[in-house]
Amino acid sequence: MTMKRIKDFSIEIIKKEVSGQYSKVFHTKVFTLFASSECVSIGLAEGFPKIYEYCFCFLKDEQGQWFGDGKGQLAIRNFVIKQAEKDPRLVLKYYKKWLSDFNKFTEFNKILLNTKLENLTDKKLYEFFKKYYDLYVKAGGVGYICDSFMSTGETDWLEEILGKELQNYSKDERKQIITSLVAPTRLSSAMAEEQDLMKIALRVSKLYGLRFPAFEKLDSKIKTALKKHSNKYYWIKNNYHNVEYYSAEDAYFKAQQLLKEEKNKIQTRYFQNKKLSGSIKLSQQKKNIVLVANLFADWKDLRKTGVLIVMEMFDRFLNEVAMRTDYTKTDLTFVVFDEIAKILFNKADLKKEISERKKKCFFLVKPNGEYIVAGDKDADKYFACLIKSVDNSREFRGVTASKGVATGRVRLILKVSDMNSFQDGEILVTNNTTPEYVPVMKKAAAIITEQGGLTSHAAIVSRELNKPCIIGIKNIAEILKTGDVVEVDANYGTVKKL
């Protein structure tokens, strides 16, 4: 795909999307989130008949607020539902093709992990970077149809259509049945990593009890197991903003924490509940939709591992380009890939643009490769479209993802650094959760998110952890502040400000 920078886009469309739908919020950089936006727009369009006509992002103070084409999202969802109702294999074929692309991306990633980029010529470095970038865009691509199952508001569309065939059950029974029906078929990647690590932790406990020796003094077989574990999950601590290698020593420290929790708290109850729903009578069409919802929950989690994996290699490539040019690695996180060749070969001077983007940046990507990147004053007209939420209500409603009741102080998490101050028993409030949120999710008394969908990360992990969780409360991360005291009643989907 040939990228083409354009100067303008309809302000009216931007206003409509900002006011009419949910957004994703990320602690992020221009380069990484722009790459994912290419996945959503260009990568999806190359492999799926329905598309996002555009996606765009406002980025300031390393905080990105991302929006997609709401009409396109609905068209994708409706297409998936129609295909699923006919035969879920019609959707599965897209997954299989995507998985082939994803595996090509991860295989090339393995090659690059063992490649010394500093030994490559400028030409070869760029060729590798471009090949890797293109593979990532393709590997993300069709995987973003999973996001069409997301929602926001007091009701979940999936819960509504399945609930119509469960009217003989009480509201609570319907909720339990539906959450059981759409459960993932496997643990999330973050919880699977903990389960694998727990096996090593139990070996440590058998040899040493809770009197943990220094890593260097561990039994050699355990050290080898920890090194293999960290090599397998080296990406687990990464996110859209930070790259942090997961070492064997990190894994050992985490294993100690798991043992100190007295037992492995990964829940098996939720997966066992799927057996309870086996006798539930649904039409074949609705059963097919459930199968696709199950697929999407697992698919989206696997797609997210690709995001965490790519951050490591993007960081290495940008660092190497910085070493060869008059830019810092931080500078290069404010460019887009289309500008890398100009910087590397033509020694283009983009420092003024980069400086402007550091203040604030708006970007937009279309499936035909057209894009906008506007910084500082050039971005003002787009930022003027953002609406600051003002809500003096004391009660808010969303969708129950995991039942339970909790009262506590709010801790608003918008950046990874915010997690350091999270205390046991606080109420986690955020736009959405991703794998790096799991440690604070385990500490939280309850979880509240803006993004909804019974197959969302927050919904899945909260059920694995058996934590009260309400999803899909629009703008709740703007309305509630750290220190607010709230009551979370996830039995009824309500949050009350006390």
Series of mean pLDDT values for 10-residue runs along the chain (498 residues): 90 90 84 96 96 96 92 94 95 96 97 97 98 96 92 78 87 79 81 93 92 94 97 91 92 92 50 53 90 91 93 97 96 97 92 96 97 96 83 86 94 89 95 87 94 85 91 89 95 92
Question: From the centroid of its chain, how far is CA 148?
Answer: 14
Angle at 20 (CA atoms; ends 386, 389), nearest 5 degrees: 45
DSSP-derived 3-state class of residue 16: helix
Whether residue 447 contacts residue 462, with contact meaning beta carbons closer than 8 Å, is answered with yes
What is residue 320's predicted lDDT score, i.e. its pLDDT? 98
Nearest to 305 by CA among 28, 109, 30: 109
- Quote the DSSP letter at residue 279: G
Question: What confidence score (pLDDT) does residue 264 get?
Answer: 46
300 token code pair: 């989206």
pLDDT at 176: 77
Q: Which residues contact 382 (CB under 8 A, 6 or more apart)?
A: 11, 14, 56, 58, 362, 374
User: CA of 265: how far to CAs of 195, 198, 262, 315, in Å?
Assistant: 9, 10, 9, 34
Distance CA(170)–CA(167), nearest Å, equals: 7
Taking the complete model, does pTM exceed 0.85, yes or no?
A: yes
Please, which residues have CB within 8 angstroms of residue 422's CB and are 6 or more apart in sequence? 411, 413, 428, 440, 443, 444
CA-CA distance, 214 to 379, in Å (whole number)?
A: 52
Helices then strands, each counted (H, E), the chain: 20, 14
φ, ψ dihedrals at 488, nearest 5°: -105, 115
Q: What is the pLDDT of residue 474?
A: 84
The length of the chain in residues reads 498
* pLDDT value, residue 41: 96
- The answer to whether 412 touches 481, Cβ cutoff 8 Å, is yes
pLDDT at residue number 275: 47
So what's the pLDDT on residue 389? 61
Distance CA 118, CA 323 (A): 9
How far is CA 418 from its chain centroid?
A: 17
Residue 463 to residue 460: CA distance in whole angstroms: 5
Q: Is 156 left (phi over 0), alpha (psi -120 to 50) or beta?
A: beta
Predicted pLDDT at 266 = 45
